[in-house]
Amino acid sequence: MATDALRDDARRFSDRRRAWLLGGSLLLASTIVDFVVRPWLFAMPGSRLVGEVLYALALLVFAFGLRGQGSITARRPLGTTALVLLAVWGFAHEVVFGLVPIDPSNMGPAQVLGTTLSLLQGAIALIAVVQIGRAHAVQRPWNWAPAWVLGAVAASTVLQYLVFAGGTESQEVLGAVVAVDLLARVGGSTFLGVLAIVLANWPAPTRTVSIIDSES
C-alpha cells in the first residue's frame, strides 16, 4: 500500500507539474504575442485574437489544472469562477462594444461603458487573486504573487487617470506614465509565467500546512 501511495503522489506531482508548465508557457506566449508580435501585425485580421486565446487557455489551465491537479484555486468555486470569467473577459468585452452603438461625435457613453467594464474586471481580478492566496495551492509566499501584480497594474492605471485628468501637456510626463503602465503589465505577466514554470518543479504544499493555515 505504501508503494501505491507513493505512485499516486508521483502521479499527482507530475500532473501538477505539467499543468503549471503549460499554464506558465501559455501566459508567456500570450504576453509575447500581445506586446511584441502584435504591434508588428496590427493590420492583420485576427492578430489580437491569438493573444486573447492564449491568455484564456492559460487561465483555464490554472483554474482547473490537468486531471484534477494543478488548480491554483484548489478548485474552490469562487476563485475558479473568477478565473473563468477573466479568461472569457476579452471576448465578452468585444461582444459588448460590438452590440452597443457608438456615436463618434459623442464618445461620453462609450467612455462610461469602458470605465464600468474596467472596474468590473478589476473587481473580478481582485476576487481571483484573494482566493488564490487563501487557497494555499501555491507555495507561500508565492500564492500572493498574482495579488502583487494586480496591485502594480492597479497603481499604474490610477496614475494614468490622474495624469490625464490633470490635463498635462508634457509629452515627457505622458510618455513616462504610459511606459510605467506597460512595464507593469508586461513585467507582471512575464513574472507570473516564469514563476509558474519555476514552481512547477517544487514540491506541493503539504495538507498539514493547509489545515493549519485555514484554522489560523
pLDDT class of 132 with cuts at 50, 70, 90: very high
Site of grid cell 468555486: 77
- Over residues 109-130, the pLDDT tens digits come to 667 777 888 899 999 999 999 9
> Which pLDDT value is given to residue 76?
95
Mean pLDDT across 177-185: 90
- pLDDT tops 50 at residue 174: yes
Instruction: Give me the pLDDT at residue 5, please.
Output: 60
Are 30 and 55 in contact, with CB atoms under 8 Å apart? yes
pLDDT class of 77 with cuts at 50, 70, 90: very high
Q: Inform me whether the pLDDT recorded for 161 exceeds 90.
A: no
Q: What are the pLDDT digits (tens) for 142-158?
A: 999 999 999 999 999 88
Q: In the chain, what percentage of residues exceed pLDDT 70? A: 77
> Does residue 90 register a pLDDT over 70?
yes
Helix, strand, coil shares, percent, the chain, to 5: 80, 0, 20
Cα 115 from chain centroid (whole Å): 19
Which has the higher per-residue pLDDT, 200 or 1?
200
The 8-class DSSP code of residue 55 comes to H
With a CB cutoff of 8 Å and minimum separation 6, the contacts of 201 are 17
Round to whole Å and give the CA distance between 176 and 215: 45
Overall average pLDDT of the 90-109 stretch: 69
Name the DSSP class of 166.
T
Q: What gap in Å lies between CA 165 and CA 177, rounded to an integer?
A: 13
Is the model's pLDDT at 55 over the cut of 90? Answer: yes
Residue with cell 507593469: 184
pLDDT-derived band at 212, boundaries 50, 70, 90? very low
**59-75 per-position pLDDT tens digit:** 999 999 998 889 999 99
Mean pLDDT of the chain: 82
- Is 133 within 8 Å of 147 (Cβ atoms)? yes
Q: Which of 33, 52, 19 is nearest to 190 (CA)?
A: 33
DSSP 174-205: HHHHHHHHHHHHHHHHHHHHHHHHHHTTSPPP
CB atoms within 10 A of CB 99: 7
C-alpha cell at 196: 509558474
Check residue 208 and give its pLDDT: 35
This model's pTM is above 0.85: no
The stretch 6-24 carries a mean pLDDT of 82
Query: What average pLDDT does the segment 5-21 reach?
Result: 78
Residue of 210, 209, 195 whose CA lies nearest to 74:
210
Name the percent of the chain lying above pLDDT 90. Answer: 46
